[in-house]
Structure 1
């Protein structure tokens, strides 16, 4: 690479006498960047030299008539020799008689970003890119023409793309409008005469005589803080619209009439049977199915024990829960429930619980109590469920709503309807219970569970080491028991971070055995990388997409280790008929088939051998050299934040910034459509205008982008189902020279107050760069109306306070002002996604924050790959909880 690049400046050096000309000699640099410069060159003929930084040099074209902002207007660009990076700073006069003799001005400068691999574009003769300069912006094309006979150089055409930076043929030419140097403010004549550099011109605040935008510009009175009481972030809050209070019938026995009994040491729990349909009818009540550890809380005169379903004492693991149980107004009690950690919108997550247990972060854990078996010497198990739940509700009546102890309320709603709505909220499923049944230990038909996806426990029978790290697992061999015999169920090779993969390796490597646990090696394991067999003792929870005819799991994804279950108890869960279960209680079954809730799911082949796994090649490749962040680190980061990020990513078209060699090596390019280097099978591809745009619908798709060197993910403000309708608008607040982050914060608050004045709710996030994004969720609205609204708001802010704000993209007007960029709001425009990394110094992350946090935030790049986990572990509630449910109509402007 170095040898090839050094030769690229030989032509440049050979044409110049550096003892005569002031041009820099220069050399190929190793550190790569993305600079561009346009130099106005008054030589034999006036022209404009376009230079783009690539491979340590400036690729150069002489544009004979200069760039035009009119799309379709072609300007001849003759490719010339590569120039050194130092040439970007050259402004002066080349003596007559020397090569290129004449005056050179730095007419524009900034950064450029190719839309695809620039090397391939140069080779094929079509280079598409974006300029972000002080004068030029937006998308451009360089298209190579066929060489004519006797032509020694390649001739290209420079053409402006259609976008918000374009101009019509009737508008003023940018070359005439802005003829001076962006560095010294001088004209060509002044540079030739050696005149001193000028001070930059003060920006004019004069406005055209156009009608002032009719948007409410007076700031509304600040609302009293805390005027509206916030709802607790809990599972119960998620289903509140469905909830009906449980009524205890008059003929039900009082708790005092229940049998007296001594508080038992442990009661074998009642277990739910997997059903094919959710039961319906008055005989059933329903609860949300949790994704955590089942626990039995035993209280005896202030002493608390938390017991697993096997009777193991896990009190020390959940000390905060134990302390809350100890404060209950009872001498003795036995409570059945489940400890969880909740992610977005109150959805519990077993993987988040595993992370919290690993880090010792008990503050995120909550114990949902759903049954009361004993209370103050009274055995409640023979009583109906409704009576037990009413007693449990009274016991927990004074418990703080946001504390570690919470009530799982019964929902008096039809099972099929509730299941459909639960799945739509991303929950695991529902539990249906016979309202008049007593508490019976073991598995029966009193309790039925209906799931939104296939998920159960498996026994680990072996493992395959990772190809990238010999001390980490790459896949697990899964099994289940049937009739006392272990049966092969396939493999899972995804769902674990590198840290978890190493932990699993350490545990399983100590349990290896030479003999195959199945007796004979399964056929599927004979032609693959050989598994290392282990004693079948570890139990793991796995999410998958159904079974093959050979009882193998499809597309299995590891969720966590189940330390609360015995391996011999793990069987293949088969769905019982809800109709048969209903017959057992002498009622008719009216349940409807379960509704599908996953939208935008990629239709990939159901192949048992692929299992959706992503192999990271060269995992130790450094993506951020200054922060020491590798490809593996980036993959682990996305595993940790997936549940926070998914609601804002899944179902949306994305654009990518790919940096295969890392963020600080300069070889980054912008990509909107699927191309070489990506793994289409792990992505959701959507046809648009003859091309395929990219969407991500699962974690594996996101990790495949990490493998492809994607360091930034940008999303559209519309869903893939309705690309022509906006549902999220973005006001991008970009600080100009001479402004501070405090100015950006003030601007964000100003946008919020203005929109609150017209009854619109907004959210805010950092960009990971210098600015903030104020995000406005709206009812699906045509893009032209949405863009008109954001442009009107931005223009009104500029009109009211021209000394603080600017709403046009012209960089020369931004000194001392905040640029209110509304141009993110069009059909194909994108903005950096929440929790996406940025290809910038320090590996920063774009992070949703609460409005109350703005005053304490030090900058837009405060949060990085390395410190974001600490922030998320401290949060009691997602700052963007509920954003997906906000559907606000935009006001109409006349």
Structure 2
């Protein structure tokens, strides 16, 4: 309770709807960013540590521009359940104004977070709905008569960083991740500019959605309509000639038909798994953004479910059940589908683990193959069978199917220990550090995809990268230097699948195995 004494002393909980809260006994690594329109608009950045939310007020909000420093004033600890708060704090109360839940997710510290916090330099990875990748929080030297510590929030250089010429994430994605509302709608006092801003935020989603009541008839043929729409698998596609990959001239209609043609291959890996989507409404060369929750005009073919979150609350997840759902995603500009490691039937226990092998600068493709093989052999020594797929990028994913018995915390602990052991045995080849500068010449073994709400690109999903590559399952025998890591594409994958004599992952559903820590660790074919 002492940790939250300053928080409670500043608030009258008979007047404000903010959670009174108490320090949580259960420790976790959640994070939240709240847009707070008080006396001055700012963003509150919060990291869960030791049962409370360590909090900073970021005047200009977080920036995805690599190296850009945003002043973050350290404020009092908040209760963990504050990370789900959205609403209006009454005038006259501390922080009076409107609070919008702008982002949320999990964070993973690099090294000991307590040591980093005490020394004033925290490096961590965010896996949120808007903010992802590696970040730094650095404490500045305290000035005379300065009552609160000043820190700097800095985006590290990685795949999620942007340049100064790119769109500001605060402008690109202004709405609540909890309710989809604008801050004016939460306050009930819309400004003159609010309707225009709200309309702009909804425009791209609304104009691209198919009409309700579309016939759920599976068909790979396309039927032209008078308003320049086509039907693909019974789903109405607007702007079918819109080019999504300019170099290939690959259109929206062609992408939809590609997925219909490989439906039997992709659906076993997608159906009833919560999705994290990469939407690029104007094509892969234009602005893309992450989407986890529903949007205006969501197709009936894309299903919404309310599930428990890690704070004993509820959150919305999106799933598909058939190829019409996949085509409906294409209609909404989705170029990448990422899946959770568990199904809706049992979200608390994973049925797949992922080791993401991400090569740093100076690492050749044969070294990545050697790393994947080394992971396979280590797993085999533990009695675990694994499978491999290209990611459509430079790396590989080693996938371990599980009978869903272990909890997520055990899955994360196992994969972390496994990755750290490999890095300790061969530190010149492997690392578990995501900071780009420390990965040169080494392969980053990313185990953080083995969190409950983390995701990995789905088998047979396209990537929003040049060439229209596809994340593709391969057999271990195929994994040779002749195989290009991004060699499978929308254009050539159908021919590969036609020629295959056997699905390289055909045995995956029949594998019955549990983590080595489990009392009944074993592997056998399901009958």
TM-score (ref. length: structure 1): 0.37
Matched residues in 2 for 1:715 and 1:166: separation?
23
Question: SS state of the match for residue 341, structure 2?
Answer: strand
1:791 aligns with 2:416: yes
Relative to structure 1, is the Cα distance of residues 754 and 107 closer, same or farther in structure 2, using a 3 angstrom cutoff? farther
The SS at the match of 1:780 is coil
In the alignment, which of 703, 719, 742 is matched to residue 327 of structure 2? 703
Alignment gaps of 5+ in structure 1: 1-49, 51-60, 90-104, 109-139, 183-187, 190-467, 469-490, 506-528, 530-556, 559-611
Q: Taking structure 1 as reference, are residues 494 and 856 closer, same or farther at Cα in structure 2, changes over 3 Å only? A: farther
Quick check: 2:365–2:481 contact (8 Å CA) kept in 1? no
- Work out whether residues 718 and 726 of structure 1, in 8 Å CA contact, stay in contact via their aligned partners in 2: yes
1:873 to 498, 502, 516: 498
- Please say if 1:683 is aligned against 2:302: yes
C-alpha change, 1:145 and 1:739, in structure 2 (3 Å) is farther
| 2:439 is the alignment partner of 1:817 | no
- Does the 8 Å contact 1:77/1:158 carry over to 2? no
Partner of 1:496: 219
User: Match of 2:474?
Assistant: 849
| Cα drift, residue 145 of structure 1 | 9.0
1:762 match: 386
Q: Is the 8 A contact 1:731 1:822 kept in 2?
A: yes
2:287 equivalent to 1:663: no
Structure 2 residue aligned with 1:525: none
* Aligned pairs for 1:474-553 within 5 A: 494-498=217-221
Partner of 1:615 in structure 2?
236
Alignment of 1:596-615 (within 5 A): 613-615=234-236
Residue in 2 that maps onto 1:170: 114
Question: What is the deviation of 1:821?
Answer: 0.8
Residues 69, 174 of structure 1: 8 Å contact kept: no
Distance across 1 between alignment mates of 2:269 and 2:216? 26
Q: 2: CA distance between counterparts of 1:791 and 1:646?
A: 29
User: C-alpha displacement at 1:893, in angstroms?
Assistant: 8.1
CA distance in 2, matches of 1:171, 1:818: 26
**Contact residue 144 and residue 156 of structure 1 kept, 8 A:** yes
Q: Deviations over 1:797-827 (max 9, x none)?
A: 0110111111233444212111111111122
CA distance in 2, matches of 1:637, 1:496: 12
Residue 54 of structure 2 corresponds to 73
**Counterpart secondary structure, 2:356:** strand
CA distance in 2, matches of 1:723, 1:657: 22
Cα separation, 2, equivalents of 1:695 and 1:839: 20
Name the residue aligned to 1:532.
Answer: none
Alignment partners' CA distance in 2, 1:838 and 1:62 = 34
Distance of 2:372 and 2:469 partners within structure 1: 20
Residue 706 (structure 1) shift? 0.8
Q: 1:749 aligns with which of 352, 373, 377?
A: 373
Structure 1 counterpart of 2:163: none
2:399 is matched with which residue?
775
Partner of 2:266: 645
User: For residues 677 and 837 of structure 1, do their structure 2 counterparts lie closer, same or farther at Cα, with a shift above 3 Å needed?
Assistant: farther
By how many angstroms is 1:146 displaced?
A: 8.5
- Rounded to whole Å, the distance in 2 between the matches of 1:664 and 1:740 is 26
Q: 1:691 to 1:141 in 2, by over 3 A?
A: closer
After superposition, give the CA deviation of every residue in 1:200-248 in whole Å (9 maximum; x if it has no partner). xxxxxxxxxxxxxxxxxxxxxxxxxxxxxxxxxxxxxxxxxxxxxxxxx
Aligned to 1:595: none
> What is the distance in 2 between the residues matched to 1:893 and 1:799?
24
| TM-superposed deviation, 1:835 | 0.3
Tell me which of 301, 324, 344 is aligned to 1:720.
344
Q: Looking at CA atoms only, which structure, 1 or 2, has the larger radius of gyration?
A: 1
Match of 1:834 among 459, 475, 488: 459
Q: Mark the CA change 1:745 to 1:662 in structure 2 (over 3 Å): closer, same or farther.
A: same
Deviation at 1:67, TM superposition (A): 8.7
Which residue in the other structure is 1:344 paired with? Answer: none
Shift in Å, 1:780: 1.1
Distance in 2 of aligned mates of 1:147 and 1:79: 23
Choose which of 328, 334, 358 in structure 2 pairs with 1:734.
Answer: 358
Alignment match, 2:516: 891
Residue 169 to residue 880, structure 1, CA distance change in 2 (3 Å): closer
Determine if contact 2:219/2:234 at 8 Å carries over to the other structure.
no
Where do 5+ consecutive residues of structure 2 fail to align? 1-32, 34-40, 71-82, 124-133, 135-139, 142-207, 209-213, 309-313, 520-527
2-side partners of 1:145 and 1:79: how far apart? 21
Residues 654/700 of structure 1: CA separation in 2 closer, same or farther (3 Å cut): same
Alignment of 1:381-420 (within 5 A): none
Return the alpha-carbon distance in structure 2 between the equivalents of residues 812 and 145 of structure 1: 43
The one-character-per-residue Cα deviations of 1:63-107 (angstroms, maximum 9, x if unpaired) are: 89x997857333222249x99x9xx69xxxxxxxxxxxxxxx756
Distance 1:870 1:841 in 2: 20
Query: How does the TM-score come out when normalised to structure 2?
Result: 0.61
The whole-number CA distance in structure 1 between the counterparts of 2:302 and 2:54 is 37
Q: State the aligned residue count.
A: 366
Residues 68 and 716 (structure 1 numbering): CA distance in 2 closer, same or farther, change over 3 Å?
closer
Residue 634 of structure 1: how far off its partner (Å): 0.8
Q: What RMSD over aligned residues (CA atoms) do the two structures have, in Å?
A: 4.1
Question: Could you tell me whether the CA contact under 8 Å between 1:638 and 1:703 is conserved in 2?
Answer: yes
Q: Does 1:672 align with 2:292?
A: yes
Structure 2: distance between partners of 1:163 and 1:156: 20
Partner of 1:163, secondary structure, is strand
Residue equivalent to 2:4: none
Alpha carbons of structure 1 residues 887 and 670: separation in structure 2 relative to 1, 3 Å? same
| Structure 1 contact 78–156 (Cα < 8 Å) conserved | no
Shift of 1:686: 2.7
Deviations 1:844-869 (A, max 9, x none): 11000011111144432111111111
SS in structure 2 at match of 1:712: strand
SS in 2 for 1:652: coil
Separation in structure 1 between the aligned mates of residue 234 and residue 107 of structure 2, nearest angstrom:
41
